[in-house]
Amino acid sequence: MRPTLSELTVGQDLGSRSIDVTRTDLVKYAGASGDFNPIHWNEAFASSVGLPGVIAHGMFTMGAAVQLVTDWAGDPAAVVDFQTRFTKPVPVADTTGTPEAGAAIEVSAAVGALDAEAGTARVDLTVVAGGQRVLMKAQAVVRLG
């Protein structure tokens, strides 16, 4: 059942999740998005331009984070706006041949504001990887019934 505006309060916790990321995920995302920048798959190149190694695509990170909101809302079309600032890269270690992920993105969500006239809730996301916030001011506006 989809949430309704009347059952929400500002500050209400909407849940959290951990998203495991592998280099295979980055290659699949590159194919889907067309973003084949070598910083997302080539360790030597990424290091040569001053990065800590291969990093996740910013839009991959953003999309992974907002999935928590779309799942909570029960309908991806209910998310009418999503904005963020990218602040830190998400390094993804090479774990080829192991069952481990190369990175974990931790996402939590809370109600940031309610607009009864518009029938929307602003959901504020906290997005952390490697102990650092990687997205700032990550906010989704969700139209609710």
Q: Which CATH number does the domain 5-21+57-143 belong to among 1.10.8.60, 3.40.1550.10, 3.40.50.620, 3.10.129.10? A: 3.10.129.10
Domain boundaries, the chain: 5-21+57-143
Find the angle CA(97)-CA(34)-CA(86) to the nearest 5 degrees.
Answer: 80
Q: What is the pLDDT of residue 1?
A: 75
Q: What is the C-alpha to C-alpha distance for residues 36 and 31, in angstroms, rounded to an integer?
A: 7
Q: Which pLDDT value is given to residue 7? A: 95
Cα distance between residue 125 and residue 17, in whole Å: 11
Res 60: pLDDT? 97
pLDDT tens-digit map of 74-120: 999 999 999 999 999 999 999 888 878 899 999 999 999 999 999 99
* pLDDT value of residue 97: 80
Q: What is the mean pLDDT of residues 59-80?
A: 97
